[in-house]
Amino acid sequence: MSSIERYIEKMGQSAQSPKAEELPPMPAVPPSPCKASPGQASKQAVSIDFVKLKAAGMLTPDTSQEKLSEEYRAIKRPLLRNAFGRAKLAAGSREHANLIMVTSSLPSEGKSFTAINLAMSMAMERDYTVLLVEADVGRPAVCRYCGIDEPGLGLVDYLADQGRELSELLLRTNVPKLSILPAGKHHPSSTELLGSEAMHALMAELSSRYPDRVVIFDSPPLLVSNEAVTLSSMVGQIVFVIEAVRTERSKVRQALELLDGGAVVGAVLNKFRGKSSAVYGYGYGAAKREA
């Protein structure tokens, strides 16, 4: 049994109620085509709709949800230590430790909720900047939940056309230290693009260009998309979101076995009620089974 499976068992034994706040479901419709023309760069400032985020139970810079804020402080600390602190040295200077993928086994477990809240919490740090990437290119959620209706071109467009400047695709938000890279337009070869040499080069650039940057990827679920498995091999850390009570342990085990073991994997138990946490639990450890 892996350390994450032991963590799930421990937290599950103390669970009191399956009811908790959750993100409203996304409309079951394909993403709308971006309105920017291929020749236009979307270099622009955008405003995150804080009212909309608050209504969905999410963190905002002026949030009054102190308990949720504390939960995400606890979640982000080991991630930041692995990326920038002594833990990085102890882990053997793991490559791309500042690239953090947020995923789950199945849809609707709360990965986008977690990715947005984690990005918002990290953007409140004095010493770091945050780039939030819509890497679930088949069903992008970040911009829609943030109230950004026309994000324009993004990740897929950059990978498909290396003549574009990445800086022109980033959205500067009204949170000073938070930028967003949208998914971009639908592309029939998105899986191949995410596994391309261009993507590997982009990941290297994102990891090394700015020493204070944390990059958070809202990834597809592992059991429904090959894109998630591809992306998992390029990041240094993975936040694995598990919906308490609903998600079967066999599905968690199946998803974890898809990971190659190169990244540090942490678990967030979402929609959880226990003695020490009203909504979330957090565990940290290797994904692979132990002998």
pLDDT for 9 equals 63
Among 237, 221, 138, 239, which Cα is nearest to 183's? 138
Nearest to 239 by CA among 126, 74, 88, 89: 74
- Residue 135: what pLDDT? 97
For the stretch 118-135, pLDDT in tens is 999 999 999 999 999 999
* Least confident window among 21-30, 43-52, 74-83: 21-30
Q: Which of 177, 178, 167, 195 is nearest to 142 (CA)?
A: 178
Write down how long the chain is: 291
* pLDDT number for residue 102: 98
Q: Any idea which of 32-36, 52-56, 80-84, 147-151 has the lowest mean pLDDT?
A: 32-36
Query: Does the structure show a pLDDT above 50 at 40?
Result: no
CATH superfamily of 3-18+39-285: P-loop containing nucleotide triphosphate hydrolases (3.40.50.300)
φ, ψ of residue 203 in degrees (nearest 5): -60, -40
Residue 37's pLDDT band (cuts 50, 70, 90): very low
> Is residue 32 predicted with pLDDT exceeding 60?
no
CB contact set of 65 (below 8 Å; sequence gap of 6+): 57, 59
- Kindly state the average pLDDT of the residues 181-196: 94
What is the pLDDT averaged over residues 147-160?
Answer: 94
Residue 196 tokens read as 């391309």
Listing DSSP states for the chain in one string gives --HHHHHHHHHHHT--BS----PPPPPSSPPPPPSS-TT----EE----HHHHHHTT---TT---HHHHHHHHHHHHHHHHHHHSHHHHHTT--TTTTEEEEEESSTTSSHHHHHHHHHHHHHT-SS-EEEEEE--TTS--HHHHTT-S---S-HHHHHH-TTS-GGGTPEEPSSTTEEEE---S--TTHHHHHTSHHHHHHHHHHHHS-TTEEEEEEPPPTTT-HHHHHHHTT-SEEEEEEETTTS-HHHHHHHHTTS-S-SEEEEEEES-B-SS-SS-EEEEE-SSPP-
- Give pLDDT tens digits for 64-95: 778 889 999 999 999 999 999 865 545 445 67
Q: Is the pLDDT of residue 63 over 90?
A: no
Q: For residues 99 and 207, is the Cβ–Cβ distance under 8 A?
A: yes
CA 47 distance to own-chain centroid: 20
Distances (CA, A) of 249 to 8, 82, 141, 165, 241: 8, 27, 26, 43, 13
CB 272 within 8 A of CB 15: yes
Q: How far apart are CA 128 and CA 152, in angstroms?
A: 26
| pLDDT range class, residue 214, cuts 50, 70, 90 | very high
* pLDDT at residue 162, as a whole number: 77
Give the confidence band of 281 by pLDDT, cuts at 50, 70, 90. Answer: very low
Q: With 70 as the cut, is the pLDDT of residue 236 above it?
A: yes
Q: Provide the residue ranges of all domains of the chain, joining segments of one domain with +.
A: 3-18+39-285
Q: Express each pLDDT in 225-234 by its tens digit.
A: 999 999 999 9
Give the pLDDT band (50/70/90) at residue 262. Answer: confident
pLDDT tens, residue by residue, 201-210:
999 999 999 9
Strongest mean pLDDT among 33-47, 58-72, 268-282:
58-72
